[in-house]
């Protein structure tokens, strides 16, 4: 079990450049010296520059929340992978359920974004997750299988190993309802089984799978103590340096108890 914990903050449409800089300045001393987890913050596009500057020389990595698949051209309002790389971005979240729900994201567009991001050298956090209705009608595994198959279509095993999968049950995002560690583990074991079917058992064992959806400092340890939960994608609890740092420490504790 050599998978390194990865805790990523998804700030969504929160934090101006000044606020983002202040958060990172506050977070830096709280996580200084932490090497047992990859720590990532994902601010809005216009906040990236200030956060990248503030995070320089620290163990805090920076990601974007979306990327377009074309390199350049007439795509008003979009940002390319090369633009993110030039700005100093290292990670990118792709296919978050809010983008699927509100902005017409499909498995096909997720796949195009993943390919473009990898080609540009970005590290991908690809989100999958079922709705409450899908869970209640026993479609969870089928939905996740289709999202994984579609999102990873044409991605080589070598590239897939570098991708982080974020399992985020839609019903748990921002609702305060967390999947119990057992439910999250059972589902993420299913995700790993699908990855093994798509690639191989060995490749699947190397892919990190985060849990996301109302993960907080007080449930992070129990969640990350589970075999197939390698970290978290955090919304609300990532917006304050103190709670985010505590969550990271507890997540590491969970991983150490495996
Ligand atoms: P939440 O959001 O932690 O606020 O539930 C998680 C996410 O959407 O990535």
pLDDT in tens, 26-76: 999 999 999 999 999 999 999 999 999 999 999 999 999 999 999 999 999
Q: What is the dihedral of CA 44, 47, 53, 55, to 10 degrees?
A: -50
Q: Is the CB of 212 under 6 A from ligand 1?
A: yes
**How, if at all, do strands 37-42 and 5-10 pair?**
parallel
Question: Active site includes 246?
Answer: no
CATH code of the domain occupying 5-256: 3.20.20.70
Q: What is the CA(90)–ligand 1 centre distance, in A?
A: 20
Q: What is the CA(63)–ligand 1 centre distance, in A?
A: 15
Question: Active site includes 168?
Answer: yes
161 pLDDT above the threshold of 70: yes
**pLDDT score at 17:** 98
Catalytic residue among 105, 134, 168, 221: 168
**pLDDT score at 49:** 98
1 pLDDT above the threshold of 80: no
**pLDDT score at 33:** 95
CA distance linking residue 177 with residue 207, whole number of Å: 26
Catalytic residue among 96, 105, 130, 134: 96
- Closest ligand 1 atom to 127 CA: 9
129 pLDDT above the threshold of 60: yes
Average pLDDT score over the chain: 97
Listed residue (44, 38, 48) closest to 88, CA to CA: 48
189 pLDDT above the threshold of 70: yes
Q: Is the CB of 213 under 6 A from ligand 1?
A: yes
Report domain extents, the chain: 5-256
**pLDDT score at 177:** 85
Contact 118, 78 (CB under 8 A): no
Higher-confidence residue: 2 or 207?
207
Read off the pLDDT band of 2 (50, 70, 90): confident
CA distance linking residue 232 with residue 216, whole number of Å: 9
CA distance linking residue 100 with residue 164, whole number of Å: 18
Q: What is the CA(40)–ligand 1 centre distance, in A?
A: 14
Read off the pLDDT band of 178 (50, 70, 90): confident
Q: Where are the beta strands (DSSP E) in 5-163?
A: 5-10, 37-42, 60-64, 91-94, 123-128
Higher-confidence residue: 86 or 1?
86
* Four-residue CA torsion sign, 21, 22, 28, 31: negative
């Amino acid at each position: 079990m050599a998978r390194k914990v990865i805790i990523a903050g998804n700030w969504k449409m929160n934090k101006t450049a000044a606020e983002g800089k202040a958060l990172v300045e506050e977070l830096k001393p709280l996580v200084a010296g932490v090497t047992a987890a990859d720590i990532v913050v994902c601010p809005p596009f216009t906040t990236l520059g200030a956060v990248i500057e503030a995070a320089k020389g620290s163990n805090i990595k920076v990601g974007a929340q979306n990327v377009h698949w074309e390199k350049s051209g007439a795509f008003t309002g979009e940002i390319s992978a090369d633009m993110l790389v030039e700005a100093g971005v290292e990670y990118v979240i792709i296919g978050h359920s809010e983008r699927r729900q509100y902005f017409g994201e499909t498995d096909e567009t997720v796949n195009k974004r993943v390919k473009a991001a990898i080609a540009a050298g970005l590290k991908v956090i690809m989100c999958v997750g079922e709705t409450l209705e899908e869970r209640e009608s026993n479609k969870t595994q089928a939905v996740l299988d289709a999202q994984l198959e579609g999102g990873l279509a044409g991605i080589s095993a070598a590239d897939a190993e570098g991708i982080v999968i974020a399992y985020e049950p839609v019903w748990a995002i921002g609702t305060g309802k967390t999947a119990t560690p057992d439910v999250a583990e059972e589902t993420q074991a299913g995700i790993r089984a699908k990855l093994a079917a798509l690639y191989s058992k060995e490749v699947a064992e190397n892919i990190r799978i985060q849990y996301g959806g109302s993960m907080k400092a007080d449930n992070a340890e129990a969640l990350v103590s589970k075999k197939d939960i390698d970290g978290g994608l955090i919304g609300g609890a990532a917006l304050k340096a103190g709670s985010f740092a505590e969550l990271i420490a507890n997540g590491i504790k969970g991983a150490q108890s495996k």
